[in-house]
Amino acid sequence: MEKMNLLICDDEWMIRESIVQTALSMEEFNVFTAVTGRTALELLEEEEIDGVVLDMQMPEMDGITFLQHMKSRKKDCAVIVLSGHDEFDYAQKCLHYGAIEYLLKPVTSEQIRDFLMQLKENILHKRSYISQLNTYRQEIDSIKPLLREQFFQDLLQKSPDNETIHRMEHFLGLQICFPYLITAAIHIGHSAAAPDAADEPLQLYTLGKLIGDQLNHTLCSHIFHMNSDTIAVIAGGSSDSLDDDLLSAFDELAASLISDLHLRMNIGIGGVVTSVRQIRDSYTEALFALNYNNYTEMVSIISIHDISEHSPSENVHWDLKKSLDKLTAASATADKNEFLLKLQELLQQLKEHRDINLNSAIHYCCFISSLALGCLDKNEELMNRNPYFETSSQTTLDSLYAYTEQLLEEISERIKSGTENRICHLADACCEILEKNYKEKLNIREIARELGISRNYLSTIFRSKTGYSIVEYLNGIRLEAAKRLLRNNELKIYEIAEETGFSDTYYFSKVFKTHTGVSPSDYRNSFIE
């Protein structure tokens, strides 16, 4: 085991030497000594100190000041304080600044050994914790590339909330938040001169690195793979001319590098946005622009702003895009069932336009699928589906539409099932509250607030689940309890009314007779022989 470095800081020679000898006899410490607080601080800077035995009163600097300096310099050492002051204020301050123990002088050799053992255990525990923490950190670091890819895909598909974005940005060491942002979608193909297919993954990885290196000369960019043949780019900067900067960077890349890789590269560039949550909108435009690329050239680059004159078929695209944009904007606040119906309507609208080519339809269906999946809870199994991969793998319009239609139906069923389960859960929870607390004065509004829903909604779902209003159900519970007391108890009628939660004897008797046909007294007498 690696020895622990112990610093003993005490100006009293006898005490200092006693601690030194005891520490050395334990054979687990390397010992450093200091007579003044200033010397001790210098040793802290020069050596990796694990533990400190600190005298409260020293020349040049007292123990409190020493502890303050330690804290300001973020020196995380286990500290035991020795003091001649039997005052609570001193002890409180020492513990506040990180000391693990405050001991009064004089100390015996046995006490010295005991507090050194305590110091040793504290250091070992801290080492174990740090070791475990480093192991976890290494494990997390190993999966960060996957988390990074998933985060960027979520950014383009689901528009996470700002808190999640900032948290992941910090966790993954990314810089996402800029005054201006832009995205690009890059479709990768192979020329006839391409090498063996086995080299394709390496080529794509190389291409991603080259694109990143080229763009980062002028822009801060993030490059990641959406699927086997599509690379996405998110770029940020302080200028609203990002689209021009991106075009120039891609032109330079194409001229100098792409031809050497025997790859076809077709690029669509979206519009400039001013919020991270608008990135998805920019990427929708990038995919839209990508569909108008010239796939006969080795490198073809088009921006959404280049599409200015629309043919009749392009007008179809723009109509669909506008509908998709509206749905995207409403996705966060819309009722899930209504939202899915609108997505199904958009899919039907898409199916009716037979002049749309397969690539265009794939991109629309991809976003329809992504928006639909965004309606599900994160723990839903369907959330593991990859709409980019699954839509891109379709080879005909019919199979593409069939896949998208089936996915929408599955999601719709899951949401309906989830809604029904939630209704059952809320109704059951309300029943449980009523059964446990029927003796108390209950307020439906307060029960609803406890369940996190409105009073009216609770009343509606409760009746749909039980067939009774909440008051009727509660009175039923109270009446059954009252019957038991009337049969087996000598309590007076008014006492039974109070015991079962009824507001007064008259109301109790009225409700009882309405439900049983007899008064509480007659009911009791019927059980008396």
Residue 488 lies in a domain: yes
Determine the Cα–Cα distance for residues 55 and 11; give it in Å rounded to an integer.
Answer: 8
If 0-12 CB within 10 Å is exposed, 13-18 middle and 19+ buried, where does residue 207 land?
buried
Residue 454 lies in a domain: no
Residues 174 and 126 both lie in one domain: no
Residues 162 and 102 both lie in one domain: no
Count of domains forming the chain: 3
CATH of the domain at 105: 3.40.50.2300
Q: Are 360 and 199 in contact (CB under 8 A)?
A: no
Residues 157 and 51 both lie in one domain: no
SS3 29: strand
Rg (alpha carbons) of the chain, rounded to whole number = 36
SS3 12: coil
Residue 330 lies in a domain: yes
From first to last of its 529 residues, the chain has per-residue pLDDT tens of: 678 888 988 888 888 888 888 888 888 888 898 888 888 888 888 888 888 888 888 877 888 888 888 888 877 888 888 887 766 777 778 878 778 888 788 888 888 888 888 888 888 888 888 888 888 888 877 877 777 777 777 777 766 777 777 777 777 777 777 888 888 888 876 554 444 544 566 666 777 777 777 776 667 778 887 777 788 888 888 877 777 878 877 777 766 655 565 666 788 888 888 887 788 888 878 887 776 654 445 567 888 877 644 443 444 455 566 666 666 555 555 567 777 788 888 888 888 776 677 777 777 788 788 777 777 765 555 556 667 667 777 778 888 888 888 888 888 777 776 666 677 788 888 888 888 888 888 888 888 888 887 777 788 888 888 888 888 888 888 888 888 888 877 788 888 888 888 878 888 888 888 888 888 888 888 876 5
Residues 117 and 171 both lie in one domain: no
Residue 433 lies in a domain: no
Residue 324 neighbours by CB distance under 10 Å: 21
SS3 53: strand
Residues 271 and 388 both lie in one domain: yes
SS3 182: strand
- Residue 180: give the domain boundaries: 151-412
SS3 492: coil
Last residue of a domain, one of 387, 412, 437: 412
Residues 14 and 90 both lie in one domain: yes
Residues 167 and 99 both lie in one domain: no
Residues 164 and 246 both lie in one domain: yes
Pairing of strands 263-269, 180-190: antiparallel
Last residue of a domain, one of 392, 412, 432: 412
Residue 235 lies in a domain: yes
Provide CB contacts within 8 A for 193, sequence distance 6+.
262
CATH of the domain at 502: 1.10.10.60
